[in-house]
Amino acid sequence: MTSPLSRPAWLLASSVAAERGRSYISVQDASKTYASRNGDVHAVEHADFDINEGDFVSLVGPSGCGKSTLMSMIGGLEVPSSGRITIDGTPITAPRRDFGYVFQDATLLPWKTVLDNVLFPIRTQKRPVADFLGEAERLLRLTGLWAFRDKRPTELSGGMRQRVAICRGLINDPRLLLMDEPFSALDAITRDDMNLALARLWDEVHKTAIFITHSIREAVFLSDRVLVMNARPSRIVADIRVPFPRPRRVEMQEDPEFQAICAFVREKIHEGLSGGDGTVSS
């Protein structure tokens, strides 16, 4: 579909030297290898890219491509076997209190109310809760959950629980929000809703974010930039800057360029799955 000769403007060179200057998060030749009974498993190999401040970046790829491992390393939950990952030049070696984390499960405390769950990081980090009540209210209002602030997680739907988890990830005004497949457990309709809700939220909060997903459409719809990962070898095979302005609109998904980007990402993923010889098997 996209021949290498006429590279579209949205497809970036694999290592964007021009952007290194104002880089914020810098992943420098990071690899992660696990020892197993059947020899070493290369979860991530030679990941090398920078993320600019304010960008919403998606990592998209098939399951087992190491995108979750890569995100865990950026979040300081795991340490790279080689290479390094820095924020403003400082290596990330442990979870940081100025990061926000959202996982695949909402991981809410079932005995706490919605509001208390959102404030849980503040209490854990022994900061004055009173200083963050306003921010909690703002986030819960933005996500349409303020009316449910005194409910327990069991009284909410799956989509609402995941929105609470996102509010919790944002409560400490993080410098980076890491989201690991936050919507993958939701049904398709709820997921579309959540994409829209997250896009709306981003129009308000403007945060640097890394978002992991295996939904191509979701990645392109939400992101300023999409990194495509492949499995075996686990590496980044395409780097795309999504050219659509914010706020994002649902109609944008009908745009031929949107569909061209999605098709290109799909092609890249299938190349990896079919052994890298370029044949598409869909």
Prior bond of 233 cis (ω within 30°): yes
The Cα–Cα gap between 222 and 207 comes to 13
Residue in 33, 46, 103, 252 binding other proteins, rule: CB under 8 A: 103
Quote the least distance from Cβ 5 to other proteins, whole Å.
Answer: 45
Residue in 8, 54, 64, 95 binding other proteins, rule: CB under 8 A: 95
Quote the least distance from Cβ 229 to other proteins, whole Å.
Answer: 21
Q: Which uninterrupted H or E stretch holds 115?
A: helix 114-118
Q: Please list every residue from 147 through 166 that binds other proteins, using CB under 8 A.
A: 152, 154
> How many residues in the chain?
282
Quote the least distance from Cβ 213 to other proteins, whole Å.
Answer: 18
Q: State the residue for tokens 């950026």.
A: 74
Number of helices (H), then strands (E), in the chain: 9, 11
Name the residue nearer to other proteins (CB basis): 52 or 107: 107
The Cα–Cα gap between 116 and 151 comes to 10
**Does 175 help bind other proteins (rule: CB under 8 A)?**
no
Burial class (CB in 10 A: 0-12, 13-18, 19+), 204: exposed
Residue in 7, 82, 111, 187 binding other proteins, rule: CB under 8 A: 111
- The stretch near other proteins (CB under 8 A) out of 106-114, 127-135, 199-207, 270-278 is 106-114
**Does 97 help bind other proteins (rule: CB under 8 A)?**
yes
Task: Answer whether 63's CB lies under 8 Å from 214's CB.
Answer: yes
Give rounded-to-5 percent helix, strand, coil for the chain.
Answer: 40, 25, 40
Strand segments (E) across the chain = 11-12, 23-36, 39-52, 56-60, 82-87, 90-91, 99-102, 176-180, 209-213, 225-230, 235-241
**Does 129 help bind other proteins (rule: CB under 8 A)?**
no
Q: Please list every residue from 51 through 80 that binds other proteins, using CB under 8 A.
A: 75, 77
**Does 41 help bind other proteins (rule: CB under 8 A)?**
no
**Does 90 help bind other proteins (rule: CB under 8 A)?**
no
- The stretch near other proteins (CB under 8 A) out of 34-42, 90-98, 204-212, 268-276 is 90-98
**Does 99 help bind other proteins (rule: CB under 8 A)?**
yes
Q: Which residues bind other proteins (CB under 8 A)?
A: 75, 77, 94-97, 99, 101, 103-105, 107, 109-111, 120-121, 124-125, 152, 154
